[in-house]
Structure 1
Amino acid sequence: MSSRRTDRITAVILVLVGAFFVIQSRSFASASYGSGVGPDLFPIILGIALILLSIRLFYETFHYQDEKQEREDLDWKRFSIIVGSLLLYVMTLEIIGYILSTFLFLVIAIQTMERGGWLKTLLVSAGFSIGIYYLYVQILEGTLPPLPIIGW
């Protein structure tokens, strides 16, 4: 359970971060060579989404019920696994391609947060990885690292 004050401060900070993303992404080129989608598209979308979700969080703090605050212990093991897998994802993105690296990251992240349900985890991870790749590369004509070509 989180406190009203903490959530309000977090919401304000995240609105500022979202605004920073939008403002800074406007300095990127609007299109890149060989692509109909420029590098500014995703930061703008993510910045706007962050702003909207933060405003919603701030709004929801007015509807909190006054309850006794319980202090939750931080789960450092899960946090470390997620951060480690995120760093591994960033390092392997160009090497093994977007689809495979995103799939592996999602499998690790989902299983870290909720053990079991392997079939659901594999389906969600594969669907998300392939779906986003198709959307961005085929429909929006952007570029992402492809699957590695193994030619021994």
Structure 2
Amino acid sequence: MNKTFDRYAGIVFLAIGAAFVVGSRSISTSAYGSNVGANIFPMVLGVFLALMSLRLIYETFRKQQQQQQAEGRKKEALDYKRFGIIFVSAVLYAYFLEDIGFVLSTFLFLLIGFQTMQRGRVGASLLISACFSGGVYYLYVYVLDGSLPGFPAWLGLS
């Protein structure tokens, strides 16, 4: 973990989260066939991203102080391979979201992300990915009366 990179990434993601919140305010508050407006999901994601970014920035300063007190500076290598895998999977997630649906694309994205960050424990990764993607879909579509792309038509589950 590179503290300088984490700090700058936290600042960039804080700005992106703030932009999501500001941008979501210009989206209409009602949507056809949905009681939840199209502005809610980006606003919640923006707030969540901003809060997580603040936490990351705080942690980098705290870790830096602890590290300086405990030992001298060490050079840490950046893990470009993991970053590349997660970046490509995020781009593919956004590209295929409409084609294969929210549940399946979110499940695959989370599974790839979990296995990229920590190899092994495939069963736990499968369970968490399935529960999260299915749970968010159920909560948003059935509880909040929102609309998300369901399953692809070729599966026959729509």
TM range (shorter): 0.7 to 0.9
| Range moving further from structure 2, 21-30 or 84-93 | 84-93
Give structure 1 stretches of 5+ with no counterpart.
none
Partner of residue 41, structure 2? 42
CA distance 1:69–1:2, change in 2 (3 Å): farther
CA distance 1:14–1:105, change in 2 (3 Å): closer
Q: Percent identity at matched positions?
A: 48
- Structure with more of its chain in helix, by fraction: 2
CA distance 1:150–1:20, change in 2 (3 Å): closer
Partner of residue 89, structure 2? 85
- 1:10 is displaced (CA, Å) by 4.8
Superposition TM-score, scaled by structure 2 size: 0.81
Separation in 1, partners of 2:127, 2:155: 28
What is the aligned residue count? Answer: 151
Separation in 2, partners of 1:37, 1:81: 33
- Contact kept, 8 Å, 2:2 with 2:78, in 1: the verdict is no
- 1:102 is displaced (CA, Å) by 1.1
Give structure 2 stretches of 5+ with no counterpart.
none
Separation in 2, partners of 1:96, 1:7: 33
Aligned positions of 1:91-110 closer than 5 A: 91-110=95-114
Partner of residue 149, structure 1? 153
Q: Which one-letter code corresponds to 1:42 in the other structure?
A: F
Q: Which one-letter code corresponds to 2:22 in the other structure?
A: I
